[in-house]
Amino acid sequence: MFHVVTGANRDRYARQLKSMHAHRPEMFEGRPGGGPEAAAGRGGRDRFDDVHAIYVMGLDSFGEIECCVRLRPGNQGSIVGSFYTHGINPNERPPNDPLTWEMSHYYARGGARGEAGHGLRAQMRLAVLAAADAAGIDRILSVAELAFWPAAQRCGWTARRVGPDFYYCEDAKAVVYEVAAGPEALEAYRRWLERDVAEAGPEAGEVAAVADRLGPKGLDLVSSLTRRIAGIEETDGPDAALALVEKLNRAAGEAADS
């Protein structure tokens, strides 16, 4: 379930907020320069985690965070406005525009990671757009490492870069991009989600279940298996794809019994 945490209800989420700040640095390990957000304080906690910050949290049945992202009003200060204005073209709206939110410090853990967490992350994006729509926001700005920009374009929401790519550290580039918000963007993303679920088909869910039975190794298998099954379904038909799923089920059962 997704929760929107603001200054008004933050006291109810003290445990989750403490966990969020503790686990944030995990997302920067191994990334050059620590990722774009590192400029604001290495990810754990920074000066933008103030009373204006809004957190969209996906919590499991035990109330533990599976995925999370920070939003904040652009006119109350932002990472983009403080560090990356050179990544915005002069003809674009400024980051401190009153109808703009900034999105940063995304992370996912456990079942929200990898191909198995695709649905959960999609729900989080929907929750972000719903929160923005409720607040009357019409766009969201964010920064992505250039290598991750194509993924941001494919995730279902309407995203476009608003300026040139730039070096945020010696070895890596980033880009500032805009996500359309508001009622039309929210409805468009809902329609995209419906198509995404329909196109994934039952085979994708079966593969995720197989991966879960296989344990930690299964998470690494999901992406490649899903692509393989999709290819088989296209060339040999759905029966062949389902036959492979059944074979994987038997293998998972044998692995679980051993």
Are 141 and 103 contacting, i.e. CB atoms less than 8 angstroms apart? yes
Q: What is the pLDDT of residue 156?
A: 86
Give the pLDDT confidence score for residue 46 in this predicted structure. Answer: 84
pLDDT string in tens for the chain (258-residue length): 789 999 889 999 999 998 888 877 776 555 544 455 555 554 477 889 999 999 998 888 888 888 889 999 999 999 999 999 999 999 999 999 999 999 998 877 766 666 656 677 888 889 999 999 999 999 999 998 888 888 888 888 899 999 999 988 777 889 999 999 999 999 999 888 877 655 554 444 444 454 444 444 443 344 444 445 445 544 555 555 555 556 655 655 555 555
- Asked if residue 64 lies in contact with residue 23, where contact means CB atoms within 8 angstroms, the answer is no
Length, in residues, of the chain? 258
Closest CA to 80 of 57, 48, 124, 33: 48
Residue 134 near residue 4, CB atoms below 8 Å: no
The span from the CA of 105 to the CA of 179, in Å, is 16
Q: Is 90 exposed, middle or buried (0-12, 13-18, 19+ CB in 10 A)?
A: exposed
Q: How far apart are CA 197 and CA 238, in angstroms?
A: 16
Indicate whether this model's pTM tops 0.75.
no
Lookup result for tokens 């686990």? 23
256, 213 in Cβ contact below 8 A?
yes
Distance CA 181, CA 125 (A): 11
Distance CA(232)–CA(208), nearest Å, equals 17
> What's the confidence (pLDDT) of residue 103?
95
3-state secondary structure of 206: helix
Predicted pLDDT at 4: 92
What lies within 8 Å, CB to CB, of 186 at 6+ separation is 126, 129, 130, 132, 133
Assess contact for 71 and 53: CB atoms under 8 A.
yes
- 61 Cβ neighbours under 8 A, 6+ residues apart: none
C-alpha span between 69 and 55 (Å, rounded)? 6
Measured between alpha carbons, how far is 37 from 174 in angstroms, rounded to an integer? 11
37: tokens are 């957000």
